[in-house]
Structure 1
């Protein structure tokens, strides 16, 4: 304190200067208050980040349900590849063949044949042996019908029928999972089925055209094919209702909590790295959970309901966009972690930044030797490097946010473009052409100058 400075005064007169002990106590109290303040910030940020990370897998699933399951076009796009899957085609072949053959009374045919032979005075042995034709006749009928069914399922018409059937069934599936409306169309007990009525009508016509004149007289065939079997459908309905309520808001809440945690933490960069690591770990947990759910699902589906290979391909196809979203977030987390580290004080980060400046500086000098000068633009870029870097990174992040269903490949491409633009700006900033060193602002002396 300046001894010549006037002593502050209060209502009761001037205050005496603080003694050395009072100054030490004042400093101790300020330090303790600062420590408590930082601890409070860290505690609040920790709670917010923990909530964000715990909600992140559920947020991804919620977004997937809202975007894939409840959206008709997206749902149809998801299940459309199943029409070309051999396992699914074989399952449809077997189911339709069995149901068509089951409606043909082969035993009545063999009995009619026996009566006809008996009326024609055929030998008793021939009449008796005619009853043994039931098995071979049914086998031959099954093979013939299966061949016709296979042609129908392998045709382009099947893709159209499959798409339209799924489009009609989508609303019914949502009704089953939400418990709203009638579930008779889309569910039988704990099994979700798909109505292929148009296909069976075409199948009967194909059989008639192939020479099975009686096919048109076959009674109405069961047109529903098992698609999914859920042992605990009521629990799935409860989960679906919850996800339907939170909808798209849960991802927004999780993102807001993470952003608020980073903002509250004293060390923003370190907290950003922690958030990236946490998100990557939670997305890994989600992928493991999907793998476990796949095993549980396959074990719960009886082979007579759906063959294991068909059940596996249906599950994998249905959740493929969910898996892709989790992998995309892992890639984003890795890139965010890498970027946050490179902007830090670590030795490795300093080495990378130094080498990057050397490389862009060498590129700028090479441009100048070629006669390319960036002039005032280069000087402006050199003086506003932090600002331009933030704009480029923000543009990359905004691109991913606005991208419709970004994949890991899209994230990698956007990241590569951001790096390329940053390198290009660094080279342009190093080639102003006026002899000013890279990063120096005009009119100001450089270090050592």
Structure 2
């Protein structure tokens, strides 16, 4: 191979390596986001375990008490939600939110709603209409909990099959398509990220430099993912019309995105660790040996006539 072709091949390999590494670093946060949505939010057990501690959160309990209290007061006396009856009903519901029965209802309700939505998204033949949930199992669990606590209100709670719409029929097809896209991306994006990163390092003329760039790019992707979660939180809370319940919405947002924030910090730590290890283990360049005494210095090349 002619000597002048060597630098050209090295430049081509470095350009290809830079492209592959850049794509891998861009796909890393996207893969983490897809995996979080597919394996975190789409798993009923993980979702319920994430939402269960919020039953004891004071802001969430106050928001539930206000919403349920206004609804109950309106049913008992229309127009009384903001009148004399409203505060008494909200205080009663707020007292109920501090009981074990409320925690049972909270978990059972989330499990029922999440299971119904997930079943509609996964099974295309499940429903052609809206996604509904039956509140009878939730009411039955609350009644059993109150009966175990020997509450005199337990026999008065009716267990009726009541269908409540949680997702309108018009939104089901779009949500189903989005779910299938996320389900496929959760597997292929992380795999593509690893393959592109390995290929980019393998084809590089200087693999150590490519590994350093991969580590720094992964750390940058993790930082951008953490920034996106923070910006999403700010925008989500800013769009809420009710400012009183923003602390409760913030608690729910933080609980749902806890795993995503952990993934972003892991990407940041992994990238910085790889980059630092690569930089610390670099080989120092050896200086050419100095000419000893008595050794003639190399003569300059003669100019051609």
Q: Bin the TM-score by the shorter chain.
A: 0.7 to 0.9
Match of 1:291 among 211, 230, 235: 230
> Counterparts in 2 of 1:44-443, with a 5 A limit?
44-105=16-77, 139=84, 141-174=85-118, 180=124, 181-182=126-127, 183-185=130-132, 197=139, 209=152, 239-303=178-242, 307-345=245-283
Higher alpha-carbon deviation: 170-179 or 291-300? 170-179
Question: Residue 299 of structure 1: CA displacement?
Answer: 2.5
Higher alpha-carbon deviation: 35-44 or 55-64? 35-44
Deviation string 1:383-426 (CA, Å, 9 cap, x unpaired) is xxxxxxxxxxxxxxxxxxxxxxxxxxxxxxxxxxxxxxxxxxxx
Flag the structure with more relative contact order, 1 or 2, with Cα contacts below 8 A and sequence separation at least 6: 2
Alpha carbons of structure 1 residues 106 and 164: separation in structure 2 relative to 1, 3 Å? closer
Alpha carbons of structure 1 residues 67 and 346: separation in structure 2 relative to 1, 3 Å? farther
- How many residues were matched structurally? 276
Higher alpha-carbon deviation: 315-324 or 157-166? 157-166
Question: Residue 209 of structure 1: CA displacement?
Answer: 4.2
Alpha carbons of structure 1 residues 33 and 154: separation in structure 2 relative to 1, 3 Å? same
Is residue 101–residue 145 contact of structure 1 (8 Å, CA) maintained in 2?
yes
Question: Residue 196 of structure 1: CA displacement?
Answer: 6.1
Alpha carbons of structure 1 residues 156 and 217: separation in structure 2 relative to 1, 3 Å? closer
Cα distance between partner residues in 2 of 1:178 and 1:32: 59
Cα distance between partner residues in 2 of 1:90 and 1:202: 24
Question: Residue 59 of structure 1: CA displacement?
Answer: 0.3
Question: Residue 61 of structure 1: CA displacement?
Answer: 0.7
Is residue 204–residue 216 contact of structure 1 (8 Å, CA) maintained in 2?
no
Is residue 200–residue 223 contact of structure 1 (8 Å, CA) maintained in 2?
no
Alignment correspondent of 2:295: none
TM-score calculated relative to the size of structure 2: 0.75
Question: Residue 175 of structure 1: CA displacement?
Answer: 5.5
TM-score calculated relative to the size of structure 1: 0.53
Cα distance between partner residues in 2 of 1:327 and 1:238: 30
Cα distance between partner residues in 2 of 1:324 and 1:311: 20
Question: Residue 100 of structure 1: CA displacement?
Answer: 1.5
Match of 1:41 among 3, 10, 13: 13
Alpha carbons of structure 1 residues 236 and 265: separation in structure 2 relative to 1, 3 Å? farther
Look at both structures and tell me which one has the larger radius of gyration over its CA atoms: 1
Question: Residue 262 of structure 1: CA displacement?
Answer: 1.0
Question: Residue 223 of structure 1: CA displacement?
Answer: 9.4
Question: Residue 272 of structure 1: CA displacement?
Answer: 1.0
Cα distance between partner residues in 1 of 2:241 and 2:56: 23
Alpha carbons of structure 1 residues 319 and 173: separation in structure 2 relative to 1, 3 Å? farther
Cα distance between partner residues in 2 of 1:225 and 1:161: 18
Partner SS for 2:131: coil
Alpha carbons of structure 1 residues 238 and 293: separation in structure 2 relative to 1, 3 Å? farther
Cα distance between partner residues in 1 of 2:249 and 2:69: 19
Question: Residue 241 of structure 1: CA displacement?
Answer: 3.3
Alpha carbons of structure 1 residues 53 and 78: separation in structure 2 relative to 1, 3 Å? same
Q: Flag structure 1 segments of 5+ consecutive residues without an equivalent.
A: 1-28, 108-133, 187-194, 351-449
Question: RMSD over aligned Cα, in angstroms?
Answer: 4.0
Cα distance between partner residues in 2 of 1:255 and 1:44: 16
Cα distance between partner residues in 1 of 2:157 and 2:141: 17
Q: Flag structure 2 segments of 5+ consecutive residues without an equivalent.
A: 287-305
Is residue 48–residue 257 contact of structure 1 (8 Å, CA) maintained in 2?
yes
